[in-house]
Each structure stands twice: as C-alpha cells, then as structure tokens.
Amino acid sequence: MQKAIEEFRVQSRRLGLVEGVAAQVTSGTGRKSRWHGRLFENFRNDFLDAVPHEVAQRGGKKNILRRNQFGVNLSGPVLIPKLFDGSRTTFFSLTYEGMREKTGRSSLNTIPTLAERTGDWSSVVDPAGEPLPIFDPASTALNAAFDAAQPVTASNLQYQRSPFPGNIMPAARLNPTARAAAQLYPAPNSDAGPFFRNNYFVFTPEVNSANGFIGRLDHTLNERHRLGGSLNYSKGLDGAAPVFANAANPGPVVRDRQSQRAGVEHTFTISPQQLNSFSIDVSSDRIVNLPETVNGRVFPNYKMGAYLPMGRANGELRSARQVFSIAEGYSTRWRQHRLRMAARWFRDQVNIYSPTYGEGSYRFGPGLTSLPGINNTGHAFSSFLLGQAEFAEQSIVLSPSYFRRSRYSLAISDQWEVFKGLVVSISVGLEMSGARQEKYDRQSTVALDALNPENGRPGALVAAGVGGQGRTFQPFLCKGEPSLGLAWNPLGSTRTVVRASYGRSYSAIPVYASQWGTQAFNGNPAWVSRNPQLEPAVILAASAPAGGRTFPDLRPESANNTIADLVESTGRQPTYQSFGLSLERELPNSLLLTAGVGHAHGRNLLLGNTASNPNAIPLTALEYRDQLNDEGFNRALRPYPQYQRFNVFSSWPEGRYQRDAGYVRLEKRSSAGLVLSTTYEVSKQLDNYSGPYGIQDYYNRANEWSLTSSNNPQRLTLTYSYEIPMGPNRLLFPVTDWRRYLVEGWSVSGVTTIVSGLPLALRPQFNNTGRVVDTLYVDVVPGADPHVAEATPERWFNPDAFAQPADFTVGDAARTHPSLRGPGAQNHDLSLNKRISLSIEKSVEFSMVGLNFINHANWADPDTMIGTAAAPNVNAGRIIGSRGGRVIQLGLRYSF
Amino acid sequence: MRHRWTAVGLLGSGLLLAAPPPEVRSARLRVPFRAPGEPLEAGDVVVKVNGAAAKVSRLLRPGDELLLLIAVDLSGDLTLVDQARETLLKQVEALPPSVKVGLLRAGDELRVVEEPGASREALAAALQALTISARPGLLNSLEATQQLADSIAAKAQVRVATLWVSDSNVARYREDYTNPVVNSSDAGDMSRRFPEGLIQERIRQLTASLNRGETPVSLVHLQYQGDRLNTAYQTGLNDLVRSSGGASEFCRSVAEIPAAIEKAFADLLTQYTAEVEFRPTKTKQLDVAVETGDRAVQFRARRRLVDVTAKRSTE
C-alpha cells in the first residue's frame, strides 16, 4: 500500500493536481493548458426539402431557400504570454455565429378581381354562389311605407336604395384616390376559390442575415471568491417577403434588430455551510422598422372586409427595451433545514416611437353599398371604390415615449428533511411591482370616475402629474407568493417517490413596446360614421383628414369621440394557483414510470381589445334593432358615450382559466445506447376569453366559459436517442481496419408529437347587430347532431346543426364547441449524426436534421363559417387542403 | 583499412540478419470486476481474452488492500451537498483499515484535497471543509483521475477504485455545452432542434478516451434532472460509466442520496482485480470476458488493445 501511496504522490504532482505544482504533461489528460472549440456550418437548400403540401395542392413550386449558418467557438484558460497566466484561475469561452439566408414566403389570399376594380360587379356572387347586389348610396331615400313597429326586412324597408344598373358602378362615380390605390393590387393569379375567393397566391423572396457573439469569462479569485461575466451581442436584419411589390404592401415590414446582454456574478463561499451570490445583469433589445415609403411617407392603411388590406399598422417603429437587474442570494444550512434568501431588483425601460397609423387607417364596410338593414347586400370593396369609409383614425405622434418601471422580489425558502424519506419545501415570497412611469410624465388615461365636462358623464382624460394626478395610474402592488412541495419515499423505498406541490404566484403588468396611454400628448383622432349604412365617416382623399387639434392637449374632454386609451387602475393583478401530485416508480431494465395529475387556474388575466370592452353596449339593447345603426343613438347606450370605445391594449384584468391534466410518462434510461421517453397527457382547459374571433358578451363572463381554443385534449410525445452499436468494440460490424471509419460513430435522435384536434369555433357569416356585438356566435339547431358518422375532409362536421342568428339577436352556441374538434396533427423530427474521431480530442461530426422527415401532411381545420338558410356557405364543414412538408438541414462540425 | 570496414559492415549485417525479431511472449492485463457475495478464489475465476482462457496470475480480492479515490464535484444545492457529505463521512469511518482513501475535488479543476493514508479524522475534516462554489469539473477531470488510478494500479499490487460524487448540471460548466441561442432574431434556426448534440459529442469523446484505461469509474449523481439537456448529459454519464465497467446511481430526491452512496461503497468493496497473462494477437481489438460460474459479475467486456499491449509488452 505504501508503494501505491508513493505513486499517488508522484502522479498527482506530475498531473498538476497539487496546489502550487505545475503539470508536467501536456497531452492526454493535460487539458488544462489547452484551448478547445469547434467550427461549424449548417446548410439548407430548397433542393433538400419537399414541396409543402399546401403549395403542391395549388400547383405551386418550392420556395427558394439558400441558407448558411456558420460559426466558431473557442474556450480555455486565459493565457497572455509574459503577462498573465490564468491556466488555473481564469477561463474564457467565445462563440461567434453568423447566418445568411435567402428564402421565399407563400400565402393564399383574396384580392379584388380586375372587374371589381373598375366597378363591374356583374359577375360577383355571394358565398352561396348567388349574385351579390351592390346598391348606390346616392339613391338612398326614406321609405314612406316603413312600419316602424315591425323589423326591417326586404318587405318592410326603412330606406329604399337602388342597385347600380347591371351591378356596374359608373366610372365617374369612383373615388380617384381609391381608383389609384386599387391599381396597386396585383393581378389575381389563382382560382383556388370558390367564387373568386383565394385568388392570389403570393410567392416572394426575402433576405435575412444575423451576426452574433457570446463571450464568457470565469475567474477564481481564491478558494472562497469567484467572479463570472458574460457579454452577448447580436445584430440581425429580418427580411420580409412582400405581399405586393409596392408601397401598399400589407405584409410584414423589414426589421433591423440588435440585442446586447451583459452580466457579472460574484460568488462568495462564506463557509462550507454558507453561500452568498450577487449578480448584476443588463440587457437591451432594439428594433427599427424599415418600411417602404413614397416620397418619405408610408402608405395609408385601407381595410376592406375579407379582402387583403393595403398598407399596414406600425409601418414606422423604433423601440428599445432595457432591463437592469440586481440579485442577491444567501444560502445556509441549519440542522435539517436548508434556508435560502433571495432579493432581486428589476428596472424596465422602454423607449418607443410608434405611430400606429401615421398616414391614417380607413375601414370600409358593406353597409354603404348595401340595402340598409338587409344582409348579404353590398360589399366593403365597393364602398372603398366610392371612397366612403365607415371609420377612420390617425396616429399623431410628436415625440417618443420613455417608460420606466421598477420591480422587487424577496423570497425565503426552507427545504426541511422532516424524517428520512420525507423532504418538505416551503417558500414565501413577496412580489412588489411599481407602476409604469414616463420619464417626462407624458402619460394619460381615462379616469372612469371623473366627470367629463362635455356631457357631465363619468369618464374624463387625466394626465400624469397634472391636477393632483400622480406620476402613475396604478398603485404600487405587493403580493405574497407561497409555495409548498414535498418529496416522499413511501415505505422507505427509494425506488418510489411521491411528489406533491402547491404554488400561488402573481405576474407583474408588462411594460409594452407601444405608446398606448399617451393620448393627451400623441393624438389619435378618429372619425366615425353616424350610420354605417347611410353616411360615411370620411371620404377618401389624397391625404389624411385634418385632425383639427394641437398637442399636447390635456383637457379632460380631449379624448372624446376617439378610441380612448384606458389604463386599468384598480391594481388587479394576474394571479395563478397550481396543484400537482405525481408518483415515480423505478422499474427493472432502467425504466422509470411517472404518473401524475395537475390542476391550475388563474384569474385577472390580462386581456386585449377582442376579449374586453369596458365601453360595450349591454346585449339587452339589441331590442332597439335598426335604431342601433344610428351612431348617436348607439353611442348614447354606452356606459361612457363620449368615447367610441376603449383601447385596453392587452392589459384588462378580466380573464380566467382552469386546466386539469393527467399524464403518464415512461422513461428508459440509457441501456445499450438507447434512451427513450414517452409522455401521454390528457387535459381539459377552459377559459372565458380565448379564441380566434373574440367574445360575444362582455358583461356575462360566465356565458363565455368554454374550452380554450388552443387546448389539445390528448398529446403524445416521444423522444429518443440511439447510439447505433457499430464499429470496434461494438456489437455490429466490429471491424478495425479502414471500414471502421464508415461504420462507427452513428447515432440517431428524434422527437415525435401526436396531438388531437383543437376545439372548433363556429361563426356566422353576417353580424347584423347594429355594432352592439363585436363577435357573434352561431345558433344551435335543436335536435340536429353536429357530428357526422364518419368525419371526412368533405364533411368534417354537420353544418346544418348550426344557423345564422336572426338579425339583432345573439347566437346561443358556445364560443368554442364543447365536442367538435378539428383534425389531429402529428410531427416527426429526426437527427442523424455521424462522428469521425480524428484523434483523442479532435473529431468531425456530420449531421442531418429532418423536420417532418416523413413528409406527413396534416389536415387544415374545416371551414367554420355558417351562412344563412338563403345563402349558406357551401364550404361549411369542409376541410380544404393540408399543410406541412419535410425540411432538411445538413451540418458539419469540427471539434478540437 | 577499407577491407577492415567492409568486414565490420558484413559482420554487422550478418548479426542483424541472424538476430531474432523482438518477440512478445505474453502480455499482461489487469481486469477489474465486481462480484457481490462470498469471496471468490483464484480458481473460481476464468478470464477469457478474445475467446481463449488467459492465465490468471494474481487475483486481488475484497479483503485485500484497496486504495479508494473519492472525487467530489459539488457546485450547487447545499441540501444535496450536506446530505452527501454526511453519508460520505459515515461510510469512510466504517471502512476497514485495509482501505486507504484519497480525496480529490473537481470543481473548476481537479485538485488533491487529502492524500491517501491520512487519518480518517483528517479526511473527515477535509470533507467537512470542502467548499462548493465552483463550476462543475466532472467532464474535465475523469481522464486525469483514471490515469492516476491506472498508474497506481500498475506500480502497486493493490486494488484501486474511483468514486465520483457529483451534482453537476450541464448548464453550469464553464465550457459551452448547451448550444445557447446566439442570434435571437434568427427565426429559421434548426440547429437547436436537437440541442443535446454538443454534450453527447463531448461524452462520446470522453468515453473513447476512458476506454483506453483500466480503472472503472463509479458515479453517484445527487440530482437527476429531467430537462432535455440534462437528460442527455446524465444518460451520457451513465453510458460512460458502464462502458468503463463501473456503476452509476442518479438520485431523484435528497432522501435517495444516503442509499445511493452506501450502495456505491458496497459495490466498490466487492471489487476484484485479476491480473492475467495472454498471448497477444495482431488484432487491435481485445475481447475480455470474466466467468465465475453462475455468479453475477460485472466487468468491462471489450477494450482496445493498442495502448495496453504497447505498454505491457515492455514491462
């Protein structure tokens, strides 16, 4: 044994394992004095990919794709000859990655036909294939025979209006600005249909690039103190394939992005039982939009029903978000308790210049070219051709906004080993959040309890720091966040673990990258039609209508007649609670079986304008029927009639959700190079806000309680990795000559996901509710089964089980159907790798990553639009097409 | 003079031609293996090299001297660390006098904390005083530890074993094994769909390197983590350990730590080392099998011969 101990001493010195003794070896295990790293290139080209199914079905070809992603990594001790030897104390890691890409984007849209652009509607049909009449608003006249006691119908018209002769609008009647703009639409190039719908297939290229760097430094000051630092930088250009090749392009805008992160961490080992850490982090993300312009101006935004719009929102945008954080943590051990205390301070800063509609936004509806009060007449684009907008707004932004907000958190946690086999974790936290401030107090909101001097009703604009108003509109929030968890080995067996957990948490109200809440300083004038069937809000002209106001305008009534920004001021905060229980059991053959259940719910979730409207008209007002089309009458029914509506910008705390789930997971830990993990989950999630279209009744959230639109009730996930046992010392082909380079080092990894379909959200084709209901649901036909015996793409569900609600009534179906679901989907991704060892430390690895490598096509969701009995949607219940396609990437990595 | 040099040249050539080529009559190999249960005798053990029974020249058994190298790689949770520390102390104190323990620390880089042969009190004090604020060092220290153990085993007729106790997390290494996103604006990045590639490659490289040595690696990992990267990391460690002929335990809760460390000690105490002699062949591959009747036995079945024969043939 003495000889062995002597040898230990000799070798440990030779290898440099003893403090103060330098290593005498430089190879083999002499890694300490060496730098390591890798060079890599990932390559994609469209010749490797399959034609996406949605493209192939329309006769399209592959989008062009040329993509190279490349980089280098180097890490090791910091060594500066003759100056600094950090081989034992200082370690660096540097990574550079670049990307160059040219790719194409495709989409299928509906644009006006060439005939429609000239005002010729003679061959235009409705969704049922019947002629669609276009009426001349200039011919509008009161119907003397109208019986006001009866609903407006084709036989009891309130207003009479003549269709254009031959359904052709005379050229002289067309608005010159609209005619000029319409010429910017490209020609239709597809007949995917039906009835002229889906007539424009976009297939255009974009160029993207990025360069990024990550640097890390780790320095050991001494046995008890260590410092770490990191620096990240990335700059990229997000190309945007244009939908039109001109300034009216409604597609995404080219963006210049830049992000930086820096952090420093100090760790102090006070004693073997006490640890302290302190860190400072700073991050910055900057985005600048680079929109197309004409003479330095962006194109206005024109919205025309289901047709592809022209122009876009937020064409111009410059934003920068900075986050500063300081964190302090202390851990110690006392008897069977392990205590941890943590404190953290955050500072969020958002600097933003974002005129949403700098050149104005105009909405055109069918009402002005319809037969007033009669569905399925008129068209939004024909109203556009006449230049008659039912609504217009403009963003006047005089200066950027500089938002600031601080957050603090304190937490103390204890992990307590109650007895052998039972560990309990208890944590109590305090989450504190200040409200958003603006550096120059350029903030405003509507105070719902202040009286408006114009009409004496509640609701008046208030500005930060003016008239007794503080610098913020929300209170300082301080909430406790408890959590409890346990891990228990029942019956003393470590092969079985029972875990249980409970947690309650709050989330801070975000500081969005938007100039929402600055209305007194940056105006947002709006023009609303007094009756969208009779009178336009504005007539389209070469320039936006004059706002007639100067800013800042701090008068309490200055936001009247606009869509007023409303900042929720009660301090309600998103609140989450969750419970979990699981059982883990080790089985023979390296198997681990886990079964668990979980429940989670939340309230005061922040909702946006499609799910919240504090200025909505109660549904009982539908009894006023056609009178509701009169803007003055309609406005008078609103809680705050001086406003069009409110813009709550994803910050109105009214959402609720609940999720219940159960799962089984089987993991096969490594055995003969094979690792498998599969999880099957069944879940049910409900809420009162989600969905693609919005909600029907803002005042009765209980009625809105239905399945979450993104809830897959069943989900199966399989991940695997297998090192193929070929080559020397392996089971298969144990060759040792040159052939070993071919057969050894192969491995395969994969992820497979199979999910059941999402709940279907049915919607009626028409919404004739006098703008009381933003999102109308369908009616359920009593006795009709919505399911079909065998769901096929031709008939996925029975559309006859639903009906268009009668005019001025709401639908009685749920927001999402409780049992109808879209088709399920599956995806299979695979990675095949081949490693060639060049030496003990050098290797080359070739990889092939295939997304959807079996080129599986997933069905699209069925058409859920329900028409009227007279004009049914012929596609309702049908699935048109599928989507998906194999994508391949080849990679090469040299490690040294 | 010229004839004399010619004669010397001819004589030299003749001697060279007449001299027999250097011949390796036999190679020697140490084969560590574990066989729980009653102690085996030399006659109970058959070691086959490339299918042929090799001569077992010496069999070191559980009762024989053992030099145990404990390497701790602790960088995280105090609860786990304290539990591991307490259990290690108990196990070390219970070891028979024939077992000498050396303590190494792997955080940041491998360091000797206590040489083998020190008193158990000194060892206990060193264990108690171990600091944990370091970056994980397991992957960077395995080769050196094995090289140290192999050198000792080659010089002294004792059993040598290594035991790693680690709470390492792949994200805490100084090296970048997590493949972090560099360009967050790159929406078409597919290279991180399988982010475990880097750590898998490192472990494959390490496995190949360790397979050139002899001493098995045993590992107790204090905290099994279920995220994708750590699953790949832990799976790789498990493969690496098994490939070396050792055993690994991964704890899923604090309560499992004592049992895992106790089991690792029990396994190491049942370690045998057979020294065998065999006739080397031209093949670069060596298949080793250990048979002990119907007793369960754990050993490394295959190894590469290249380094072993080169070294052994000159001994």
**B226 pLDDT higher than 50:** yes
Contact predicate A106/A203, CB 8 Å: yes
Diameter of chain B measured on Cα atoms? 88
CB contact under 8 Å between B143 and A338, yes or no, is no
- Residues of chain A neighbouring B208 (CB-CB closer than 8 A): 837, 840
Distance CA A766, CA A805 (A): 9
Residue type, A649: F
Residues A655-671, buried b or exposed e (16+ Cβ, 10 A)?
bbbbbebebebbbbbbe
Nearest to A257 among B109, B110, B185 (CB): B185
B203 and B236 within one domain: yes
Percent share of chain A, pLDDT over 70: 97
Arithmetic mean of pLDDT, B258-285: 83
B107 and B131 within one domain: yes
B231 and B203 within one domain: yes
Tens digit of each residue's pLDDT (9 = 90 or more) over B18-58: 555 555 567 777 888 887 777 888 778 888 887 788 888 88
CATH code of the domain covering residue B112? 3.40.50.410
* Top-confidence residue, B18 or A467: A467
B113 and B79 within one domain: yes
ipTM confidence score? 0.83
- Omega of the bond prior to A552 within 30 degrees of 0, cis? yes
Q: B176 and chain A: CB distance < 8 Å anywhere?
A: yes
- Residues of chain A neighbouring B156 (CB-CB closer than 8 A): 1, 3-4, 7
Shortest distance, CA A760 to any CA of chain B (angstroms): 29
Phi/psi at A861 (nearest 5 deg)?
A: -75, 155
- What is the predicted pLDDT for the residue at A617? 96
DSSP A777-804: PPEEPTT--SS-SS-BTTBSS-GGGEEP
B259 and B197 within one domain: yes
**A313 pLDDT higher than 70:** yes
Nearest to A11 among B148, B186, B304 (CB): B148
A–B CB contacts, 8 A cutoff, strictly below: 265
Q: Residues 462..521 of A with a Cβ closer than 8 Å to B: which?
A: 487-489, 494, 497
CB contact under 8 Å between B155 and A214, yes or no, is no
- What is the predicted pLDDT for the residue at B3? 61
Neighbours of A621 (CB within 10 A): 20
* Top-confidence residue, B312 or A850: A850
Instruction: Name the residue of chain B whose CA is nearest to A75's CA.
Output: B175
Shortest distance, CA A11 to any CA of chain B (angstroms): 6
B282 and B265 within one domain: no
Shortest distance, CA B298 to any CA of chain A (angstroms): 15
DSSP A178-226: HHHHHTTSPPP----SSTT-S-EEEEEEEEEEEEEEEEEEEEE-SSSEE
Tens digit of each residue's pLDDT (9 = 90 or more) over B129-156: 887 767 888 898 899 999 899 889 888 8
**A32 pLDDT higher than 60:** no
Nearest to B104 among A17, A333, A669 (CB): A17
Q: Residues 252..271 of B with a Cβ closer than 8 Å to A: which?
A: 252-256, 258-260
Distance CA A220, CA B135 (A): 10
pLDDT confidence of A66, banded at 50, 70, 90?
A: very high
Q: A67 and chain B: CB distance < 8 Å anywhere?
A: yes
Distance CA A641, CA B222 (A): 65
- Residues of chain A neighbouring B147 (CB-CB closer than 8 A): 11, 15, 28-29
**A528 pLDDT higher than 90:** no
Contact predicate A98/A210, CB 8 Å: yes
- What is the predicted pLDDT for the residue at B305? 39
**B83 pLDDT higher than 70:** yes
Nearest to A721 among B65, B78, B232 (CB): B232
- Residues of chain A neighbouring B211 (CB-CB closer than 8 A): 729
Shortest distance, CA B46 to any CA of chain A (angstroms): 21
Q: Is the dihedral of CA A540, A541, A544, A545 positive or negative?
A: negative
Tens digit of each residue's pLDDT (9 = 90 or more) over A243-266: 988 989 999 999 999 999 999 999
Tens digit of each residue's pLDDT (9 = 90 or more) over A320-361: 999 999 999 999 988 778 899 999 999 999 999 999 898 899
Select the residue from A5, A747, A753 to test the B interface by mutation, using most B Cβ atoms within 10 A.
A5
B259 and B120 within one domain: yes
Tens digit of each residue's pLDDT (9 = 90 or more) over A35-59: 889 999 999 999 999 988 888 887 7
- Residues of chain B neighbouring A229 (CB-CB closer than 8 A): none
- Residues of chain A neighbouring B117 (CB-CB closer than 8 A): 1, 5
Distance CA A331, CA A340 (A): 4
Distance CA A44, CA A779 (A): 49
B95 and B167 within one domain: yes
Of A306, A472, A316, A459, nearest in space to A395 by CA: A316
Of B95, B73, B244, B69, nearest in space to B152 by CA: B69
Tens digit of each residue's pLDDT (9 = 90 or more) over A567-605: 999 989 999 999 999 999 989 887 889 999 999 999 999
CB contact under 8 Å between B148 and A12, yes or no, is yes
Tens digit of each residue's pLDDT (9 = 90 or more) over A299-309: 999 999 989 99
B165 domain residue, yes or no? yes
Q: B131 and chain A: CB distance < 8 Å anywhere?
A: yes
B4 domain residue, yes or no? no
Nearest to A8 among B152, B204, B254 (CB): B152
B17 domain residue, yes or no? no
B122 and B202 within one domain: yes
Distance CA A33, CA A23 (A): 9
A191 CB-near residues (< 8 Å, 6+ apart)? A199
In total, how many domains does chain B have?
2
Q: Which residue has the tokens 């260590």?
A: A226
- Residues of chain B neighbouring A15 (CB-CB closer than 8 A): 110, 144, 147-148
* Top-confidence residue, A672 or A601: A601
Q: A747 and chain B: CB distance < 8 Å anywhere?
A: yes
Q: A63 and chain B: CB distance < 8 Å anywhere?
A: no
Tell how far CA B28 is from the center of its chain: 19
**A31 pLDDT higher than 70:** no
Distance CA A745, CA A750 (A): 17
Q: Residues 270..309 of A with a Cβ closer than 8 Å to B: which?
A: 272-273, 275
Arithmetic mean of pLDDT, A660-672: 86
* Top-confidence residue, B69 or B280: B69
B143 and B42 within one domain: no
**Under DSSP, is residue A833 helix (H, G, I), strand (E, B) or coil?**
strand
Tens digit of each residue's pLDDT (9 = 90 or more) over A707-758: 999 999 999 999 998 888 888 767 788 777 788 888 988 999 999 999 999 9
A100 CB-near residues (< 8 Å, 6+ apart)? A66, A67, A68, A208, A209
Q: A675 and chain B: CB distance < 8 Å anywhere?
A: yes
Phi/psi at A889 (nearest 5 deg)?
A: -130, 135
B130 and B247 within one domain: yes
Q: B185 and chain A: CB distance < 8 Å anywhere?
A: yes
Shortest distance, CA B259 to any CA of chain A (angstroms): 8
Give the per-residue SS3 of A253-278. Answer: CEEEEEEEEEEEEEEEEEECCEEEEE
Nearest to B116 among A5, A331, A584 (CB): A5
Q: Quote the domain boundaries for residue B289.
A: 24-57+276-312
Kindly report the pTM of this predicted structure: 0.86
Nearest to A236 among B140, B185, B242 (CB): B185
Q: Where are the domains of chain A?
A: 1-33
Distance CA B43, CA A828 (A): 55
Contact predicate A831/B197, CB 8 Å: yes
C-alpha to C-alpha distances, A892 to A38, A44, A835, A845, A889, nearest whole angstrom: 10, 12, 10, 6, 10
- Residues of chain A neighbouring B148 (CB-CB closer than 8 A): 8, 11-12, 15, 17
B72 and B33 within one domain: no
Nearest to B208 among A67, A272, A837 (CB): A837
**B16 pLDDT higher than 70:** no
- Residues of chain B neighbouring A97 (CB-CB closer than 8 A): 182-183
CB contact under 8 Å between B111 and A32, yes or no, is no
Arithmetic mean of pLDDT, A653-670: 93
Arithmetic mean of pLDDT, A4-25: 78
Tens digit of each residue's pLDDT (9 = 90 or more) over A817-830: 999 999 999 999 99
Q: Residues 214..253 of A with a Cβ closer than 8 Å to B: which?
A: 214, 216, 218, 220, 223-224, 226, 232, 234, 236, 238
Percent share of chain B, pLDDT over 70: 83
Nearest to A223 among B131, B135, B143 (CB): B131
End-to-end Cα distance, chain B: 43
- What is the predicted pLDDT for the residue at A63? 81
**Among B269, B285, B300, residue at a domain's last position:** B269
Q: What does the mean pLDDT of chain A come to?
A: 91
- What is the predicted pLDDT for the residue at A28? 44
User: In A110-175, which residue ranges form alpha helices assigned H by DSSP?
Assistant: 114-117
pLDDT confidence of B89, banded at 50, 70, 90?
A: very high
**A431 pLDDT higher than 60:** yes
- What is the predicted pLDDT for the residue at B296? 65
CB contact under 8 Å between A841 and B205, yes or no, is yes
- What is the predicted pLDDT for the residue at A754? 98
Strand A538-539 relative to strand A401-419, pairing = unpaired
Distance CA B33, CA B298 (A): 6
Joined tokens for residue A818:
């409780």
